[in-house]
Structure 1
Amino acid sequence: MASTLRERTLLPPDDPADLVRFARGLADARAAVRAKLVGPDGSEIDIPDDFYDVLLDVVVALSQGMAISIAPHNTMLTSQEAADLLNVSRPTLVRLLTDGEIPHTMRGRHRRVLLRDVLDYSERTRVERRSALDQMAGDAEDDGLYEATVDSRPIR
């Protein structure tokens, strides 16, 4: 099967009722039997569980009115696209690029960032935030802050 990978965005349909029913059917069809993709000509291909889960996520998201983008990890993003993906301003992203937090290349005066590098940075910061929160919660527990109350009057 020789097909070219291309980036595309799939918008939810105007009437998501069919997708909602399909998503419910997918969720109910979880069984020990391997899922299959059936083509219009009746040909069948087994779908690995991970792919099935992704397809389920796509259908659920579309049925809830969200758009889905599919892109290879080697897709080059503009600084604005990368900033939008990270939910930060473009100047903040440029600072991250300049500080070496995210690798980038220059095409003339324009910065380009690999999608995989943006996703790696996002995951790395998520793990760092989770670790910092866990540490803060542990410190608060060690200091007895969970037992402290603002008003220590007895309650009847």
Structure 2
Amino acid sequence: MPAAGLRRARAFRFVRLLRFIRFERTLGAGGIMSTVVRSRRSVDPVSPSDSEGIAGLARFIEREADEKVKPRLVGPDGESIELPDEVYEILVRVTAAMRAGNAVSVVPYSMRVSTQEAAEMLGVSRPTFVRMLERDEIPYEQPGRHRRIKLADVIAFRDRSHVRAIERLDALVAEGSADGLYDVSQEEYVKALRAAKKRSRSA
């Protein structure tokens, strides 16, 4: 294949991978906690109404991140207790998500979600997600007419897919660099991006 054709093919594959690696937009910087799963069994989402207060808390957390002192929760009477690392990590993630303007809802990993909810979490259409279930890519239950999927299984699939996409992207960059085809012109990139969007709409 001519060099120009190889560049176009690599640009197209590169854009497809970048389009696939979009979990931060789909799930937010804080992972599943920044996703509003609309279910009767989930906790009502909390919206970031006090943006200045959230921003101040985020700056405080960032400033104290490298300190050796363990974070503590102080009550109205002055009594304090050291925050476990797991609880502090939740605080950091919730703050980051709310600072980005996302509503936050903390839900148990054992919760079941619908195919529509799971599809939204992965950033794919419902028909695409159903085909993934039919290919046994994600476990599901069907006690009645509707399929139900464990939230933990959706998250596990998301993480596996992310790792695979990163590995493929690294391999693609290494391959292109070895062949001297790393640079892609703006025109070729735009063509590849349009083609990727067209394929995405038809999925």
TM-score by length of 2: 0.63
Equivalent residue, structure 2, for 1:29 = 64
Q: Distance in 2 between matches of 1:11 and 1:148?
A: 42
SS in 1 for 2:142: strand
Q: Deviations over 1:114-142 (max 9, x none)?
A: 00100011111111111111111111122
Structure 2 residue corresponding to 1:47, chosen from 83, 90, 99: 83
Distance 1:36 1:111, change over 3 A: same
Distance 1:118 1:147, change over 3 A: closer
SS in 2 for 1:133: helix
| Contiguous gaps of at least 5 residues in structure 2 | 1-40, 186-203
Amino acid at match of 1:27: E
The answer to whether the Cα contact below 8 Å between 1:97 and 1:103 also exists between their aligned partners in 2 is yes
The answer to whether the Cα contact below 8 Å between 1:105 and 1:111 also exists between their aligned partners in 2 is yes
Structure 1 residue corresponding to 2:55, chosen from 12, 16, 20: 20
Equivalent residue, structure 1, for 2:104 = 68
Structure of larger gyration radius = 1
**Structure number having the greater strand percentage:** 1
Q: Distance in 1 between matches of 2:91 and 2:114?
A: 27
Q: Deviations over 1:32-62 (max 9, x none)?
A: 1001122345443312345323312212321
SS in 1 for 2:105: strand
| Contiguous gaps of at least 5 residues in structure 1 | 1-5, 150-156
Q: Does 1:90 align with 2:126?
A: yes
Q: Distance in 2 between matches of 1:40 and 1:71?
A: 28
Equivalent residue, structure 1, for 2:33 = none
**Structure number having the greater helix percentage:** 2
SS in 2 for 1:45: strand
How far did residue 7 of structure 1 move?
A: 2.8
Distance 1:38 1:7, change over 3 A: farther
Structure 2 residue corresponding to 1:141, chosen from 177, 187, 193: 177
Equivalent residue, structure 2, for 1:3 = none
SS in 2 for 1:100: coil
Q: Distance in 2 between matches of 1:95 and 1:63?
A: 35
Equivalent residue, structure 2, for 1:38 = 74
Distance 1:123 1:147, change over 3 A: closer
The answer to whether the Cα contact below 8 Å between 1:7 and 1:71 also exists between their aligned partners in 2 is yes
The answer to whether the Cα contact below 8 Å between 1:35 and 1:46 also exists between their aligned partners in 2 is yes
Q: Distance in 2 between matches of 1:37 and 1:138?
A: 48
SS in 2 for 1:105: coil
Amino acid at match of 1:26: I
Q: Does 1:7 align with 2:50?
A: no
CA RMSD of aligned residues (A): 2.2
The answer to whether the Cα contact below 8 Å between 1:16 and 1:64 also exists between their aligned partners in 2 is no
Aligned length: 143
Query: Quick check: 57-66 or 85-94, which moved more?
Result: 57-66
Q: Deviations over 1:42-91 (max 9, x none)?
A: 44331234532331221232133211121111110011110111111111
Q: Does 1:112 align with 2:148?
A: yes
TM-score by length of 1: 0.81
